[in-house]
Amino acid sequence: MSKKFFIKTFGCQMNVYDSHRIAIMLENFGFEETSVQSEADLVLFNTCHIREKAAEKVFSDLGRAYLIKQERAVLNKDTIIGVTGCVVQAEDEQIAKRAPYVDFALGPLTYHRLPEILTEISRQKGQTLIDTDFPAEAKFDFLPQNRAEGGCSFLAVQEGCNNFCTYCVVPYTRGAEYSRPVEEILEEARHLIKTGTLEINLLGQNVNSYHGEDKSGKERNFAYLLNKVAELEGLKRLRYTTSYPADVDDDLIECHHNLKQLMPYLHLPVQSGSNKILKAMNRRHNREQYLEKVEKLMTANPDLRMSSDFIVGFPGETDEDFEQTLSLVNQVQYIQAFSFKYSRRAGTPAAVMINQVEEKVKKQRLDTLQNLLFDYQTKFNMSCVGKEFDVLFEQNGRHKGQLIGRTPYMQNLHAKADKSLLNKIVRVRVESATTNSLCGKVV
């Protein structure tokens, strides 16, 4: 019987992508995936360090994994416990101290060394093997070929960040910006399409600062890459996340006018509507520049709608600053958004700023902001009732005979549909809507 692995993923889409590539690597190594943790011979947590809560969750999950490991030991079954992802990069010593039973810990840039580590573990039982290098070799050169899991696939084109927003751990956990060469990305995209992908979501911490080399060694921008990917035969839909507002250039804006594969939905995080706070956050854009980019994008494609990320309660944020955020939301009318209370992250400049905002105030502001965001989201969803959309069905619904898919605007839509329509793009008429989803009928 083949050995089994269980993997739990925290954090952003880049981690989802990494977990998928790790899973392929483990399958090639003779493991089979299971969704039942207690039957796994290898338990892996792919972790996120972005906010305190996310990072702390890992330690409670590890504690539980250790209990299961002990229970399995009574039945003479070995369990390897591993940690990958951003917590490893930031807290490798704490992992070794607080969870000494962890067999290995690999950073986001070293997980391609997993097969070596597994071989090593069988030789050195009882030690925690840690590898948090920022290696000179690119991990992508060492990973087995990616393949589609369904109709939608992520494809990492860029990793790391040089922006150093004062609240953010990513430049420390994912390191400096690295762009994969154009050809390598196209090769991966072709494989994804060949194995069933209709939609590709190009990923990067700061995807639109992409500057990879083409065949001739010439540096190319993100718009060039988008055009190249859009030319691939068989690809129906194209998305990209996450972009940095200051790096949205005219070439990219033109893509939203020219490329029919590019979906009319863009995640463009603004964080705050106050120039004072944006400056303290070290964002390279102010409110006016952000709004100008949004306007240009929406002129290029009038169907385009926006989503964003917000942080409330950043150090020094006053009621007036917060009002500015609300007024920006009213101006842009986002159709979806993520919003968070500022979380103090050790080692970042904002963590030691003296004007921290009280927890109670943060909570109030988050409630107010989320109510406003939900209003716009609901309003947009309601406005879709009666309209027809192309929906890519991605999974089975909760009820039999039902499928769940996504509209071009990333809304979840469920409809009565035959299983044969899974991983296909189907025309659907929207019949009802709530804040979080749509319900439709295949036409």
Cβ atoms of 157 and 181 within 8 Å: the answer is: no
**Candidate residues 44, 95, 129, 170; the one interacting with ligand SF4 per rule CB under 6 A:** 170
| Cα dihedral 115, 117, 123, 127 sign | negative
For position 244 contacting ligand SF4 by CB under 6 A, the verdict is: yes
Residue 226 binds which entry of ligand F3S, ligand SF4, ligand SAH, none, CB below 5-8 Å type-dependent: none
Structure tokens at 25: 């690597």
Closest approach, Cβ 209 to ligand SF4, in A, equals 9
Closest approach, Cβ 206 to ligand SF4, in A, equals 5
For position 158 contacting ligand SAH by CB under 6 A, the verdict is: no
Taking the least distance from each CB to ligand SF4, the nearer of 205 and 241 is 205
d(CA 192, CA 203): 14
Binding to ligand SAH in span 271-310, by CB under 6 A:
271, 309
For position 248 contacting ligand SAH by CB under 6 A, the verdict is: no
Cβ atoms of 317 and 274 within 8 Å: the answer is: yes
How wide is the angle at C-alpha 352 spanned by C-alphas 351 and 353, nearest 5°?
100
Cα 112 → chain centroid: 19
Stretch of 63-71, 160-168, 219-227, 297-305 contacting ligand SF4, by CB under 6 A: 160-168
For position 118 contacting ligand SAH by CB under 6 A, the verdict is: no
How wide is the angle at C-alpha 83 spanned by C-alphas 77 and 86, nearest 5°?
170
For position 206 contacting ligand SAH by CB under 6 A, the verdict is: yes
Residue 252 binds which entry of ligand F3S, ligand SAH, ligand SF4, none, CB below 5-8 Å type-dependent: none
d(CA 68, CA 11): 24
Taking the least distance from each CB to ligand F3S, the nearer of 308 and 423 is 308
Buried b (16+ CB within 10 A) or exposed e, 121-140: beeeeeebbbbbeeeeeebb
d(CA 219, CA 103): 41
Taking the least distance from each CB to ligand SAH, the nearer of 201 and 242 is 242
Residues that bind ligand SF4 (CB under 6 A): 161, 163-165, 168, 170-171, 205-206, 244
Residues that bind ligand SAH (CB under 6 A): 50-51, 167-168, 170, 205-206, 242, 244, 269, 271, 309, 311, 340, 342-343, 345
